[in-house]
Amino acid sequence: MKKLLVVLPIAVLFLACGHSRGPMANATIDSTSGSTAKGTVHFQDAGENGVEVVVDLTGVPPGVHGFHVHEKGDCGNNAQNAGGHFNPNGMVHGAPDAVSHHAGDFGNVTADDKGEVHTRFTTHSISINTGTNAVVGHAVVLHGNPDDLVSQPAGNAGPRIGCGVVTLANAVASVNGPTMFPARRTT
């Protein structure tokens, strides 16, 4: 009986949080020339918790790779068109938990020995589609080398091996505010 009293309020809280989740966005990562990296990056507004980012990639050389949101929503010219790091607040480059860092500084992701990345984290540095830190319309870039989290202006992370433009996934839900129902897929 005691156990039930503990579990029940937690279950109710969990459901309530589910209903308050707001807009979401996606980026489909495609490989640049000579790379096989591809996959998806999913962004979910999580209210007071910020934005949850879920990363699933394959074909990535095993090891540590710089991973950022870049300024321009253009992956052309082997992702060079994406420009520098998304930096709406004029900060210097740094680790995601450093005092100063670009809004787009996600730090690094690590590919396992199968060349896969499966990770998730939450950040308060970006929003989905509101305000100056909105991630929609920018590009997610995966690099060939680690971001050293110190070098300016971009962590010396080497070549751009994957890139995807962030697009809004549930425009209707975001206009009408939080909804109980998932966005409808037409495909």
Binding mask 95-114 for Zn ion (x = CB under 5 A): -------x--x---------
Asked if 156 and 108 count as a contact pair (C-beta separation under 8 A), the reply is: no
Residue 93 binds to Zn ion (criterion: CB under 5 A) = yes
Which one of 103, 141, 161, 169 is in contact with Cu ion (CB under 5 A)? 141
CA 11, distance to chain mean position in Å, is 28
| Selected catalytic residue, list 65, 101, 143, 147 | 143
CB closer to Zn ion, 24 vs 101: 101
Residue 124 bears catalytic tag:
no
> Residues 93, 154: contact at Cβ < 8 Å?
yes
93 interacts with, out of Zn ion, Cu ion, none, CB within 5 to 8 A per kind: Zn ion
With 0-12 / 13-18 / 19 or more C-beta atoms within 10 angstroms meaning exposed / middle / buried, residue 151 is exposed
Position 85 contacts Zn ion (CB under 5 A): yes
SS3 168: strand
Query: Within 10 A of 3 (CB to CB), how many other CB atoms are there?
Result: 7
Question: In this complex, which beta carbon is closest to Zn ion, that of residue 45 or of residue 105?
Answer: 105
By annotation, the residues acting in catalysis are: 68, 70, 85, 93, 102, 105, 143, 160
